[in-house]
Structure 1
């Protein structure tokens, strides 16, 4: 007899998985832990998901999509190119790797231990690269857009995001510092940066006669 899937059970599985992955990481969480927290048998988990990796993607993907869309919304009102690029890099390399007790590192753990037969969803990575590439490319001055390969730039940004996620897992100080963000932002903007703060005009004291 085929079991009927229930939306409330699926949602309970996702909520339990999110809590366990956040608290004790992907590696230390088992399907038995998730099933026990929901109050169902481990066998029943397979009615809803194919594997632990499948469950992780189901909680990770909507979170990451919301987070990147939030960055887009946050920078929409930022006018200066340098400020926009700074804000994007700060979010990618400092904020996201640290959020939700370093939740991003769970996907790093999962991908490093993928077993034969488990599904790897490349579609999310492709969407992330496209979105990040578009954000940064749009923030650059026109002359820089023509000289920078958007797809390759996005790939480097995501690789750095993954790296900072791993470093943060090892040490709370393993995130990009402000100097790194500033250096990369200025490299991307290039030498013709017009987003510098205007110099304060100070009047020279009048010469006495």
Structure 2
């Protein structure tokens, strides 16, 4: 007999997992702890999710999509390309890595320990590359876009996001990426090497 899935049970699992992942990280959170916090058996947890990674994806994808939607709205309010690019890089390198107690680091922990059988899903990172590329296309001249063919610069910005997420996790009280580094990257992307070296 097939088990009937209940929305409130699924929501309780996700709420418990989000709280635990945010407080102690993906690696330190066991499925047993999630099931206990949600008030369900570990066996019942598997009725709703295939794995701890599946739970994280279910939480992380809408979280990141909503965050990028807010970033796009913020960028739309900035009148000039330099300011738009600064807003983008600051969000990717400084703001997002520290939000929700460094929640983005959970995906770094999960993927660094994942195995081929864990069903890695590249759809979110592909979507993120496309969104960042679309933002960059609205900021850069055609000659600069030609240099950064496709999603290349977006991939670099995302790899730096990953690195800053790990840095925040390991040293949350330490200074994050400074304004001079952000300005240097803005100048490099815009093709203003003189300004980059002064940043």
Residue 116 (structure 1) shift: 4.4
Alpha-carbon distance in 1 for matches of 2:136, 2:167: 24
Please name the residue that 1:200 is paired with: none
Q: Which moved more, 1:166-175 or 1:101-110?
A: 166-175
Please name the residue that 1:167 is paired with: 167
Look up the SS of the partner of 1:28 in the other structure.
coil
- The number of residue pairs the alignment matches comes to 193
- Give the TM-score taking structure 1 as reference length: 0.88
The superposition leaves residues 144-188 of structure 1 with CA deviations (integer Å, 9 ceiling, x where unpaired) of 223322311111111010011111111122632111000000111
- 1:13-52 matched pairs, under 5 angstroms: 13-52=13-52
Higher gyration radius (CA): 1
Asked whether the 8 Å contact 2:187–2:193 carries over to 1, the reply is no
- Give the TM-score taking structure 2 as reference length: 0.92
Look up the SS of the partner of 1:9 in the other structure.
helix
Moved over 6 A (4+): none
Alpha-carbon distance in 1 for matches of 2:62, 2:171: 26
More helix by share: 2
Q: What is the alpha-carbon root mean square deviation over aligned residues? A: 1.6
Residue 191 (structure 1) shift: 3.2
Residue 138 (structure 1) shift: 1.4
Unmatched runs of 5 consecutive residues or more in structure 1: 194-209
Look up the SS of the partner of 2:50 in the other structure.
coil
Unmatched runs of 5 consecutive residues or more in structure 2: 195-199
